[in-house]
């Protein structure tokens, strides 16, 4: 007897496409903040060409300097060589326009966590990209399905949720939205492995696995600080040594960027309605004061210009 039962997989994959990039050799990245720089470095390290697009010359220059400094720090720690730095930077082109990117096989959006902005960037990437190119977002909390719907290729829209610092974190969450085809998932999982990451497949849901699970921990550490239970370095030391974490929660929030952490919390609070996602007042205060963590030189700690904690 033939098996006539429709499988869920078949239903989900009715958008399977035939034209997909055979080989990924050139990638455009829009947004060169903490994440865009790290993603660019990881892809260029794997031998692919990268075009990085920023909104203006000032931000572009800042990103170029900061990436160069990040690699210099790695060289100082003997984790990289000068010739590796030269090879990586030679594969990256920096620009402030969407010109000359039509031959890119992948487009990665890594701009600020703002839905209207991301929608605009997705529209622009869709317009410039060749038919077979895949469009990726690095969003932590926004709806990929809605982003896919502003494009003419929703089956080729997927999330790739890298974690900070991208070159050092071996994980990436591969986020399948309602429209993403299985073929797109397959290509992107392969791409993730080619740039040295372990992909974990996740269905679209606010905060996915990593953001959803880490945010309440960061928030709780902030309340511990606010309630005067312990000072910041002691909270971090307790969590690092007690649970074998690489970073304590307050330093981790500083590395992630306190504005980003607040945006994720507000988005999770709005979409899931759980009190555990209500941001601690101390986080709001630091963001109001533009003390955004490591990237601005001050957050829960102060940092020197190499990004080392000074107090
Ligand atoms: P960031 O603030 O460091 O960088 C965002 C960059 O986007 C800035 O350099 C800004 O100038 C640029 N930008 C803004 N508008 C632009 C435009 N129109 N064209 C080109 N560039 C533009 O933020 P980030 O921490 O790098 O986060 C970027 C994305 O990655 C967000 O969606 C965030 O949720 C996600 N993410 C962040 C982390 C983290 O730990 N920081 C982790 C995973 C995912």
Residues 28 and 54 in one domain: yes
Neighbours of 66 (CB within 10 A): 16
32 lines ligand 1 (CB under 6 A): yes
Same domain? For 168 and 116 the reply is yes
CA 83 to centroid of ligand 1, rounded, Å: 28
Query: Do 39 and 108 contact (CB within 8 A), yes or no?
Result: yes
Give the Å distance between the CA of 309 and the centre of ligand 1.
23
Residue pLDDT, tens place only, 84-137: 999 999 999 999 999 999 999 999 999 999 999 999 999 999 999 999 999 999
In a domain, 140, yes or no: yes
- Residues 169, 231 within the same domain: no
110 Cα to the center of ligand 1, angstroms: 5
pLDDT tens-digit map of 25-58 = 999 999 999 999 999 999 999 999 999 999 999 9
CA 241/CA 214 separation, integer angstroms: 18
Same-domain pairing of 199 and 267: no
What CATH number has the domain bearing residue 191? 3.40.50.720
Q: 58: buried, middle or exposed (CB in 10 Å: 19+, 13-18, 0-12)?
A: exposed
Full-model pTM: 0.88
Ligand 1 lined by 113 (C-beta under 6 Å) = yes
For residue 194, tell me if it sits in a domain.
yes
CA of 8 to the centre of ligand 1 (A): 35
Residue 53 Cβ < 6 Å to ligand 1 = yes
Residue 53, H or E segment = strand 49-53
Answer whether residue 31 is part of any domain.
yes
Closest CA to 71 of 170, 187, 195, 165: 165
Residues 196 and 216 in one domain: no
> Do 269 and 133 lie in a common domain?
no
Find the CATH number of the domain harbouring 250.
1.10.1040.10
Summarised one tens digit per residue, pLDDT across range 188-246 is: 999 999 999 999 999 999 999 999 999 999 999 999 999 999 999 999 999 999 999 99
Residue 262, domain member (yes or no) = yes
């Amino acid at each position: 007897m033939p098996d006539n039962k429709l499988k869920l997989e078949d239903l989900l994959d009715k958008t399977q496409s035939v034209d997909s990039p055979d080989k990924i050799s050139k990638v455009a990245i829009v947004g060169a903040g903490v994440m865009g720089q790290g993603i660019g470095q990881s892809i260029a390290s794997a031998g692919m060409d990268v075009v990085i697009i920023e909104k203006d010359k000032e931000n572009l220059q800042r990103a170029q300097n900061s990436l160069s400094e990040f690699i210099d720090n790695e060289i100082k720690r003997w984790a990289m060589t000068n010739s590796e730095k030269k090879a990586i930077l030679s594969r990256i082109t920096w620009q402030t326009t969407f010109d000359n990117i039509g031959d890119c096989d992948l487009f990665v959006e890594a701009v600020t966590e703002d839905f209207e902005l991301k929608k605009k960037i997705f529209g622009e990437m869709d317009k410039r990209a060749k038919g077979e190119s895949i469009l990726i977002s690095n969003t932590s909390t926004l709806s990929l399905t809605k982003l896919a719907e502003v494009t003419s290729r929703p089956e080729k829209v997927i999330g790739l949720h890298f974690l900070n610092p991208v070159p050092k974190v071996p994980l990436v969450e591969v986020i399948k939205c309602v429209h993403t085809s299985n073929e797109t998932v397959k290509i992107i999982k392969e791409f993730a492995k080619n740039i040295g990451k372990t992909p974990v497949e996740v269905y679209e849901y606010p905060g996915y696995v990593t953001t959803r699970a880490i945010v309440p921990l960061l928030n709780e550490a902030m309340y511990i600080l606010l309630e005067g239970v312990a000072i910041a370095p002691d909270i971090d030391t307790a969590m690092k040594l007690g649970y074998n974490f690489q970073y304590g929660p307050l330093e981790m929030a500083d590395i992630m960027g306190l504005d980003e952490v607040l945006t994720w919390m507000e988005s999770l609070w709005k979409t899931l309605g759980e009190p555990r996602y209500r941001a601690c007042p101390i986080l709001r205060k630091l963001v109001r004061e533009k003390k955004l963590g490591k990237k601005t030189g001050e957050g829960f700690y102060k940092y020197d210009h190499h990004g080392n904690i000074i107090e």
